[in-house]
Amino acid sequence: MRFVVIAFVLLIFHSTCISQTQTPTQYIRMNQMGFLPYAPKIAAIVDANAHVFEIVNAKKQVVYKGTLSKAKEWSQSGEKIQIADFSTFTKPGMYTIRIPNVAESYEFSISNTAFYNVNNAIIKAFYLNRASIEILPQYAGTYARKAGHWDTSVIVLPSAAGPKRKEGDVISCPKGWYDAGDYNKYIVNSGVTVGTLLLAYENYAAYFDTLTWNIPESSNNIPDILDEIKWNTDWMLTMQDPDDGGVYNKTTDANFCGMIMPHEASVSKRYVVAKGTSASLNFAAVMALSYRIFKPFDAAYAQRCLHAAIQAWNWAELHPNIPFQNPTQDGDYPRITTGGYGDKTFSDEKSWAAAELLIATKQAQPYASCVDLNTNYGIPVWFNVGSMALYSLFNHKQDVAQWIDTAKVTERILEQALKLHQYQENENAYKVPVVDFSWGSNGVLANQGVLFLYAYKITKQYNYLNAALASYDYILGRNATEYSFITGYGFKSTQNVHHRPSEGDNIPGSVPGFVAGGPNGGTKRDCFGNYSSFAAKAYYDATCSYTTNEVAINWQAPLVYLAHGIIAEYSTIISNSTSTLAYSPYSELTFARTETSKEIPIFSETPFTISSAESWIRVTPSSGNNSQNIRVETTEPNALEQTRKGTITLSTADGHKQTITVYQKGNAKNFRVEAESFIRMHGVQTEQTTDDGGGLNVGWINNDDSMVFSIDISQTGTYKLNYRVSSYDNIGTLVLKHNNIEYSRIDINPTGGWQIWNTVSDTAYFTEGIYEVTWYAEKGGFNWNYVDFTFVSSEKQDK
């Protein structure tokens, strides 16, 4: 490890010793590790019906008083939420939040090092999950364990046989990380995992170069994060058939073993299983990316990675559609029943691999034409990695500009980030950007956090950095379950993850630093009877709950990126500020047509002034000497149809200036209602959409499900409603009502796929006003992305 300035030894997990029965988390949900001094500080107050809150120091003195926001119902949790915002309280120390006559929180810190221990534990978890190595006490403390799965005698199954390697051959595939709660190693899931970690280093190399968390390689000349990544890429390289370049899908047991330790499970035979298109393209992308990251440290290793990437790409070109499925029994060879990662769509992997090879080789052919910028791939997940191409292309936009439309790359990233951020600001009662309660929802949220960090990197708008921080706040406790989802970190943290070493080591609790999968609103066939009917609460801290409480490397990796990226960006902001700090963590404000007032925090250790040149913007107070909230008001309505734009300027005596952009929406006659922007709902869920524009769509719509929205009709008249919908093979019916009066009704015919979209039109007449309307699924079985309102006439027209 070069330039070592920080050392970290994980001996015991960090947990405040307080009973986890009846706790203040029932009413006060917050980041349980604390807050950074010059960043937003928000807690969610649940079902309290209170008006004020207090910040209390260790001496039981009230040091800050604030007013709670108006309660907002969140249909995903069945709760009424008020927000306690104490962002402008910046003094480091230990504090509690008190809601008079209701509850007082556990103690939390305000400190620049509030996340230091948990961030190191999150990345240390990869070391603790290594295969083929003894985990020693000097690196793991209590969590030391014997080595398991040396994987030096792995059998080639018939499905994996190649030009020279035959069924029954024995090969060596050591190292790598255990994938999740099991002891198998999968190429497809390693793809998005390693890719995310490598991009974390590429974007924050100077930051990671200074960190170490006490692993066996910490004394070498390579950053610890790259040492850890190399443990897995070393294994991945063994998974390539040297004769044809194809890549095996996994190193695996025949079946999942019991909840035992690695060395106890190592008696089972191990196998490599079938080559596949997805495995080979994921491998090609990771190895091409590894080439450019490892080249400054080990040129020979980097060249080996690039050669392997090209060989895997060539194999995939010859075998463009080889999906994976577990092989059945074949003679004396067993049926394989472990995880499949059976992706059947390969355009996303091909786009990512092409992008990485284009950057690595600087050769337009054959790669540039295979990069797909037209499809919206959404947040990266193991079966949909297309957005990984966008991330790398943005990082190297100057190198690829002669072949790639880099403006479109940036546009694709920002359009996804903007929609998610708008949902956080306007729709989510917890003020967090969580919209997806599918399996592994915490991994989805962490990947959204990575997206926000990219949006901040592109725009330098603090709102996106705040959204990334809010994502981390959610995982560490600002959520409807009351839990911090990081094992061992927080005053009510996940303790019983579905993870064999955690269950088999006979140590109370779980191995620290792992993120649990999180709430899952879908069908769950484990731990029957222990789940809430509310999607945001559908989580169970028990080993049996593999659907909500398993761990997985592809969820862990974006959390590493998010947690460390936040600190890297925050540290840069503070270090780049003048010696006397003054800045707002908000880069822009948006006012609805009828909205007139907002507050924003100013962090300051020096006198400042704040003003606007626009007559329609008023700022009070116009100056200050320390951290405080500033009120921004619109003094007159916007008579235009389009949104108008103004600015606020924050200035200090030494010449520091910050510009905050203010938008005020106008009397728009034409507008869009995003399906996920409901204020209440019954039964539905959201998911990533591949429709044009990206973002989310509403799905899992059954008969009698409903969604409630607020819509602003600025002019009386007839409107054309263009619904964007899809259906696999059902005929659905969607009805728009207000006060039980029907305004619109459409039938949705099958489109042939859940992400194959069609537009269905209707007309409706409205008088001017702000409506709370309900869209009701008379017949379900369809997806809904949005509806566009287009003004047709001031007259009422027949349908």
Output the domain CATH number for residue 48.
2.60.40.10
Q: Is residue 15 part of a domain?
A: no
Same domain, 215 and 255: yes
Q: Is residue 1 part of a domain?
A: no
Count CB atoms within 10 A of the CB of residue 742: 11
Rg of the chain, C-alpha, whole Å: 27
Same domain, 520 and 608: no
Could you give the CA distance from residue 591 to residue 113 in angstroms, rounded to a whole number?
35
- Residue 68: which of 513, 429, 543 has the closest Cα? 429
What's the pLDDT score for residue 23? 64
Quote the tokens at residue 534: 């509310």
Domain end call among 88, 110, 132? 110
CB neighbour list of residue 425: distance below 8 Å, 6 or more residues apart: 431, 463, 590
Same domain, 163 and 60: no
Give me the number of domains the chain comprises: 4
Pairing state of beta strands 154-156 and 271-275? parallel
Could you give the CA distance from residue 272 to residue 251 in angstroms, rounded to a whole number?
5
Domain end call among 533, 548, 569? 569
Q: Is residue 575 part of a domain?
A: no
- Concatenated DSSP letters of 16-42: ----SSS-GGGTEE--TT-B-TTS--E
3-class state of residue 94 by DSSP = strand
What order of strands is seen across the sheet that includes strand 608-611? 588-591, 657-664, 644-652, 608-611, 623-624
What's the pLDDT score for residue 14? 41
Same domain, 765 and 700: yes
Q: What is the mean pLDDT of each run of 10 residues along the chain (799 residues)?
A: 36 38 79 97 96 97 97 91 97 97 96 98 99 98 98 98 96 98 98 99 98 97 98 99 98 97 96 98 99 98 99 98 96 96 93 99 97 90 96 98 96 89 81 90 97 97 96 98 98 97 96 98 85 94 96 99 98 78 90 91 93 96 94 93 94 90 92 89 83 86 92 94 97 96 97 96 94 95 97 88
Same domain, 258 and 347: yes
Report the phi/psi class of residue 751: left, alpha or beta, with left for phi > 0 and alpha for psi in -120 to 50.
alpha
Could you give the CA distance from residue 274 to residue 247 in angstroms, rounded to a whole number?
8
Q: Is residue 223 part of a domain?
A: yes
CB neighbour list of residue 606: distance below 8 Å, 6 or more residues apart: 578, 580, 581, 582, 625, 652, 653, 654
759: CATH: 2.60.120.260
What type of residue is 738?
A: H
Domain end call among 110, 138, 169? 110
CB neighbour list of residue 260: distance below 8 Å, 6 or more residues apart: 500, 504
Could you give the CA distance from residue 225 to residue 215 in angstroms, rounded to a whole number?
10
The partner residues of 658 in beta bridges, in order of sequence, read: 650
Which residue's entry shows tokens 């509806």?
787
Could you give the CA distance from residue 790 to residue 378 in angstroms, rounded to a whole number?
27
134: CATH: 1.50.10.10
Same domain, 389 and 311: yes
Q: Is residue 11 part of a domain?
A: no
User: Within 13 A of 766's CA, how many CA atoms are on the CB side?
Assistant: 28
CB of 536 closer than 8 Å to CB of 436 = no
CB of 413 closer than 8 Å to CB of 695 = no
Torsion, CA 599, CA 603, CA 608, CA 611, rounded to 10: -30
Catalytic machinery residues: 182, 498, 541, 550
Is the bond into 621 cis (omega within 30 degrees of 0)? yes
Same domain, 431 and 465: yes
Q: Residue 650 belongs to what domain range?
A: 582-664
Q: 462-475 and 441-459 helices cross at what angle (nearest 10)?
A: 160
What's the pLDDT score for residue 15? 40
Q: Residue 332: phi, psi to the nearest 5?
A: -85, -5
The partner residues of 647 in beta bridges, in order of sequence, read: 661
Pairing state of beta strands 657-664 and 588-591? parallel
What's the pLDDT score for residue 579? 59
Same domain, 28 and 102: yes
What's the pLDDT score for residue 20? 41
What's the pLDDT score for residue 528? 80
Angle at 523 between CA 473 and CA 502, to 5 degrees: 55
Element counts in the chain: helices (H) and strands (E): 18, 34
Same domain, 654 and 683: no
Count CB atoms within 10 A of the CB of residue 427: 19
- Residue 648: which of 609, 684, 687 has the closest Cα? 609
Same domain, 284 and 252: yes
Which residue's entry shows tokens 């690829």?
400
Q: Is residue 182 part of a domain?
A: yes
What's the pLDDT score for residue 576? 75
Same domain, 162 and 90: no
Q: Is residue 8 part of a domain?
A: no
Q: Is residue 576 part of a domain?
A: no
Could you give the CA distance from residue 493 to residue 486 in angstroms, rounded to a whole number?
6
- Concatenated DSSP letters of 321-366: T--------BTTBPPP-S--------HHHHHHHHHHHHHHH--HHH
Same domain, 292 and 356: yes
